């Protein structure tokens, strides 16, 4: 599978049409961050009667983020239930590398929390979701979300980036043990095309690789306080082995954290009808946040 085909498969959930139902208000291009002359935005989808739940959706495939991936139909399984959806576009690789992208998501969560009353959202009922790279970014907030510095100049940055629930599809979780114990992801041939996202080059040392991989792996975060987490993963996925989800869920189960892994037999990295999984994610958030 080529890199382009992988990205198309990952973004299928974003772009596939769903059946239109209740009305929702679409607020475009809400700026949540400025950096290096770039305005980062999210689109907000408000239900007719907000129930206080806010869901950040990561518009990301291969850590590439594009406004073309914003899809009103994707929001409907959530807005139909009263949830407000924030489809977040982050700084895209290769211009921005993963540590910078993760900071974008921290900022997005803080921005939503700081402005929660504007959209009828309870700041203590925030969930996050995405597929593949978007799933990875979602788990990073679950594992590394934290209170903002109290002395931050921008009041938004003083808010917490913690979320109260996570639901995602086929995410990478451990770049130090990728597919099997001891196999570094950055030495996995299929992932070489993603080196730019990590800022990795031929000159990157093994020590630097290990440090980077550990800091960007959700599994090494604060799992003892991980919010309720749902993962959906196909057992025929060659790009992101199901071992990645199994490994994280096993850790969460050891810590007695609420979690669930739903396996899709025979499914690879994306599949026909994947857009229907949005309903499963919405079920999870409704159960855990309502």
Q: What is the pLDDT of residues 32-65, one digit of tens each?
A: 999 988 899 999 999 999 999 999 999 999 999 9
The per-residue pLDDT for 21 is 53
pLDDT band at 188 (very low <50, low <70, confident <90, very high): confident
Residue 1's pLDDT band (cuts 50, 70, 90)? very low
Residue 163's nearest CA partner among 139, 185, 131 is 139
The whole-angstrom separation of Cα 162 and Cα 147 is 7
> How does the average pLDDT of the chain come out, rounded?
93
* Mean predicted confidence (pLDDT) in 157-186: 97
Q: How would residue 189 be classed by pLDDT, with cut points 50, 70 and 90?
A: confident
Residues in the chain: 290
For 65-123, the pLDDT digits (tens) are 999 999 999 999 999 999 999 999 999 999 999 999 999 999 999 999 999 999 999 99
Q: Please say if the pLDDT value at position 10 is more than 60.
A: no
Q: What is the mean pLDDT of residues 115-135?
A: 98
Domains of the chain: 3-289 (3.40.50.1820)
Distance of CA 217 to the CA centre of its chain: 13
**SS3 of 41, please?**
strand
**Residue 104 C-alpha from the chain's centroid:** 12
With 70 as the cut, is the pLDDT of residue 18 above it? no
The string of pLDDT tens digits covering residues 205-259 is 999 999 999 999 999 999 999 999 999 999 999 999 999 999 999 999 999 999 9
**Angstrom distance (rounded) from CA 103 to CA 51:** 28
Side-chain-facing half-sphere of 163: CA atoms under 13 Å: 32
Closest by CA to 167, choosing from 123, 137, 210, 212, is 137
CA dist., res. 159 & res. 215, Å (int): 22
Provide the pLDDT for residue 11. 52
Q: What integer is the mean pLDDT of 166-185?
A: 96
* Residue 106, CA atoms < 13 Å, CB-side half-sphere: 18
pLDDT tens track for 254-290: 999 999 999 999 999 999 999 999 999 999 999 999 8
Judge whether residue 6 has pLDDT over 90. Answer: no
């Amino acid at each position: 599978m080529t890199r382009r085909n992988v990205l198309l498969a990952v973004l299928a959930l974003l772009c596939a049409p769903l059946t239109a139902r209740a009305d929702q208000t679409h607020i475009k291009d809400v700026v949540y961050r400025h950096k290096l002359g770039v305005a980062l935005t999210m689109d907000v989808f408000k239900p007719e009667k907000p129930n206080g739940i806010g869901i950040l959706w990561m518009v990301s495939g291969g850590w590439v983020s594009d406004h073309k991936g914003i899809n009103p139909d994707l929001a409907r399984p959530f807005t139909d239930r009263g949830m407000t959806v924030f489809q977040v576009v982050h700084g895209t690789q290769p211009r921005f590398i993963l540590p910078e992208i993760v900071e974008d998501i921290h900022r997005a969560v803080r921005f939503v929390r700081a402005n929660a009353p504007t959209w009828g959202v309870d700041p203590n009922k925030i969930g996050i979701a995405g597929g593949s790279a978007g799933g990875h970014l979602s788990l990073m907030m679950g594992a590394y979300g934290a209170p903002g510095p109290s002395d931050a100049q921008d009041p938004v940055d003083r808010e917490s980036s913690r979320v109260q629930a996570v639901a995602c599809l086929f995410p990478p979780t451990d770049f130090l043990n990728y597919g099997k114990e001891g196999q570094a992801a950055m030495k996995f041939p299929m992932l070489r095309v993603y080196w730019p996202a990590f800022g990795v080059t031929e000159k990157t040392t093994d020590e630097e690789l290990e440090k980077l991989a550990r800091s960007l792996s959700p599994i090494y975060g604060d799992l003892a306080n991980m919010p309720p987490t749902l993962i959906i993963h196909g057992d025929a996925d060659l790009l992101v082995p199901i071992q990645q989800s199994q490994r994280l869920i096993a850790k969460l189960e050891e810590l007695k954290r609420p979690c669930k892994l739903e396996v899709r037999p025979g499914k690879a990295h994306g599949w026909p009808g994947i857009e229907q999984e949005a309903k499963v994610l919405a079920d999870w958030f409704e159960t855990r946040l309502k």
